[in-house]
Structure 1
Amino acid sequence: MTSVADLHRQSVVIDGCAPLIANAQGVLDYMAGGFTAVAATVSDNVEGALGTLRNIGRAQKLIRSAGDALTVIRSAGDIDAAKAAGKMGIILHFQGGDPIENRLDYIDAYKSMGVGMIQLTYNVKNRIGDGCEERTDAGLSRFGLDVIKRLNEARIVVDCSHTGYRTTMETIEASERPAVFSHAGVRAVHPSPRNILDDQIKAIAQSGGLVGANAYPPFVSGDKQPSLEQLIDHIKYIADLVGVDHIGLGLDYFDGQHPYSTDEEAQVFYNKFLESGEWSPASYPPPPYLYPKGIETPDKAANLTEALLRAGFDTKEVQKIIGGNWMRVFREVWGE
């Protein structure tokens, strides 16, 4: 019988949202956790294209400096190759479409640089549409519709996370390829304004996409430190609603969480996002942020694999959740 450790080691493990990759210790912890590929946030929603170009350069420098340990991911086949070579793949990911500015051709430029997934908004309104923290919910702009079309043509995954309800529903309808919520919780399980509704989950599943289960503590439960079982409650809810083929991981480990930041550093990080208007106290309570017990940091990811088995998912279902479903979406959007 295959042990949990062997199952985790043999499986393709993908985190669809990994801003922690900006942290050197975070990179090591992801590698220690057996991740095959992670989606690193490289967008800069304040400085737009220029800031994003700097971030992409930093990510490429990180990959080069790691020698043979890291590799950039441009296709599903690259993830298979990374697994075979014992490397960890880096998927370049935007959390917000602001770096597109008002130029559709930037989408093609970003694709040529290796960007594989673009989230439309980050909580607030931009040229594309309304974010989920906005007062209004006006949906996609005309420019936003053009963005979806160009993302489809460029074969970049369309990410609806942090995006307003109407904007997500219109995006899913407009997209000719599977769309995703790279990292989201379920509103019916925990009523955070940032979590998504049942009809959003159903729509994303109908598109052929998935929801990446988000471990950011305030989206999991009302407890200061959620349990691993509370995170799995979100996964089980999605499985019951639309089937196990539409769940992935989008764990959302980040620099401002414990233990990567001191309490003082985390508070500075928090204040910056409150002042910018991108975070609201209703969705983002103050730090410290203690991730679910047992997977406090990404090096403990095998504990999630074990907990999924304990929750009643069989081996094949677990492999879909921890990476296989992401691979299916990537093959459909990026190709081999």
Structure 2
Amino acid sequence: MGCAEKGLHEAAIIVDAVCPLLDDTGKISAYRAGGLTAVAPTVGGWQGAEVTLQKIGAWHKLLRERDDLILVQSAGHIRMAKETGKTGIIFHFQGPEPIEDKLNLIDAFKALGVGVMQLAYNVKNRIGDGCEERTDAGLSRFGVQVVERMNQARMIVDCAHTGVRTTMDAIEHSSAPVIISHANAKSVYPSPRNISDELIKAIATNGGTIGVVGFPGFVSKDTRPTIDQFIDHLAYMSDLVGTKYITLGIDYYSGQWPYADDETALKIYEKALADNSWSPKAYPKPPHYYPAGIETPEGMPVLTERLLKRGFTEADIRMVYGENLLRIYESVWGEQR
């Protein structure tokens, strides 16, 4: 890595908006080694309020005990993390199960620091349909109320894993930008989890962002995708709507190589199939190798180097790495420190 690339990587604010790997908080060090400024652990999404509260409580205990971490509740907190060399922690729900059927829980979780919530995780719930559901119904009456309450509570509406019509309805009913924290371009690789040009344009038109994801089944048909195949999605979406609307949601997780051996990875996979949260069509069997060079968070400097070689400018890279999400965060959460 040359001096110019190293200088850009060290100077940029870098946010990975989807980090289920941080179920193991010991992996924070991997993100720090990769130069990440802020990361978004999945603190809930698939379980009810009680279990989720315990998980959030454990995170608050960790934040109290470690002075190298900052709970992110505003754009200013991320800038402060960069200035002080600390790591910003963004609480993210990958689904709405924690709010059960109670709108007041949105405000309760927001008060605890949850800043982003997905409306679905692949399948139908009381709010609307997931992207792998048999039907493609839109927001329910309750779903409209959820979006409105999230706007009032200043919680970001995330339509990753969410059905097309539900996403379009969320855009229509939301008074704040709707994001898709992690999805790739269906025109580049037609996974059921990837999104169409129409949806990419709709998110950009509403002022939101789309995060490029590294899960191999969403990148290409290859078992071991290349870093250029990952960048192909970023480049395609940037060409379609402009780099201003593209971010990172790489989605490293504990069942991928090298964190899980083949036997453990297969057990995690089979459980996800049995739970009906994953399908074989969208999620190939493990082992899951993330794009070469960025197989783990420590490899992030390689992405900077390769983006420059692909013709992205320093300004482009800074936008994708953090400035685009900071715009959303400032708009919804505010700038205060």
TM-score range, shorter chain: over 0.9
2:15 corresponds in structure 1 to 14
Amino acid at match of 1:225: R
2:61 corresponds in structure 1 to 61
1:119 corresponds in structure 2 to 118
Distance 1:253 1:334 in 2: 25
- 3-state SS of paired residue (2:269): helix
Distance 1:90 1:304, change over 3 A: same
Deviation at 1:312, TM superposition (A): 0.7
1:247 corresponds in structure 2 to 246
- 3-state SS of paired residue (2:265): helix
User: Which has the higher mean CA deviation after the structures are superposed, 186-195 or 18-27?
Assistant: 18-27
Deviation per CA, 1:72-119: give whole Å up to 9, x if none.
101000001111110001100000011111111100001100001001
- 3-state SS of paired residue (1:287): coil
Amino acid at match of 1:156: M
Amino acid at match of 2:5: V
Deviation per CA, 1:139-170: give whole Å up to 9, x if none.
11000000000111111111000001111111
User: Which has the higher mean CA deviation after the structures are superposed, 2-11 or 319-328?
Assistant: 2-11
1:35 corresponds in structure 2 to 36
Amino acid at match of 1:39: A
- 3-state SS of paired residue (1:42): strand
Distance 1:168 1:151 in 2: 15
| 1:315-326 equivalences in 2 (<5 Å) | 315-326=314-325
Distance 2:138 2:45 in 1: 22
- 3-state SS of paired residue (1:268): helix
State the number of aligned residues: 334
Unaligned runs of 5+ in 2: none
Deviation at 1:2, TM superposition (A): 5.7
1:210 corresponds in structure 2 to 209
2:86 corresponds in structure 1 to 87
Deviation at 1:333, TM superposition (A): 0.9
Distance 1:38 1:68 in 2: 16
Kept in 1, the 8 Å contact 2:45–2:96? The answer is no
Distance 1:282 1:124 in 2: 14
Distance 1:133 1:181 in 2: 15
1:185 corresponds in structure 2 to 184
Kept in 2, the 8 Å contact 1:98–1:127? The answer is no
2:171 corresponds in structure 1 to 172
Deviation at 1:172, TM superposition (A): 1.1
Distance 1:222 1:308 in 2: 22
Percent identical across equivalent pairs? 52
1:23 corresponds in structure 2 to 24
- 3-state SS of paired residue (2:194): coil
Deviation at 1:62, TM superposition (A): 2.9
Distance 1:79 1:233 in 2: 28
Amino acid at match of 2:36: F
Distance 1:44 1:246 in 2: 25
1:306 corresponds in structure 2 to 305
Kept in 2, the 8 Å contact 1:20–1:255? The answer is yes
Deviation at 1:326, TM superposition (A): 0.8
Distance 1:55 1:133 in 2: 27
Distance 1:61 1:288 in 2: 33
1:3 corresponds in structure 2 to 4
Distance 2:164 2:224 in 1: 28
Distance 1:63 1:263 in 2: 33
Amino acid at match of 2:286: P
Distance 1:169 1:75 in 2: 26
| TM-score where L is the length of structure 1 | 0.97
Deviation at 1:26, TM superposition (A): 2.1
| TM-score where L is the length of structure 2 | 0.97
Distance 1:24 1:175 in 2: 33
Amino acid at match of 2:310: A
Unaligned runs of 5+ in 1: none
- 3-state SS of paired residue (1:180): coil
Deviation at 1:308, TM superposition (A): 1.1
Deviation at 1:24, TM superposition (A): 3.8
Distance 2:166 2:306 in 1: 34
Distance 2:35 2:287 in 1: 26
Deviation at 1:64, TM superposition (A): 3.0
Distance 1:327 1:58, change over 3 A: same
Distance 2:163 2:269 in 1: 22
Distance 1:92 1:109 in 2: 13
Kept in 1, the 8 Å contact 2:118–2:157? The answer is yes
2:228 corresponds in structure 1 to 229
1:142 corresponds in structure 2 to 141
| 1:262-277 equivalences in 2 (<5 Å) | 262-277=261-276
- 3-state SS of paired residue (2:305): helix
Deviation at 1:25, TM superposition (A): 4.2
Kept in 2, the 8 Å contact 1:49–1:101? The answer is yes
2:49 corresponds in structure 1 to 49
Amino acid at match of 1:114: G
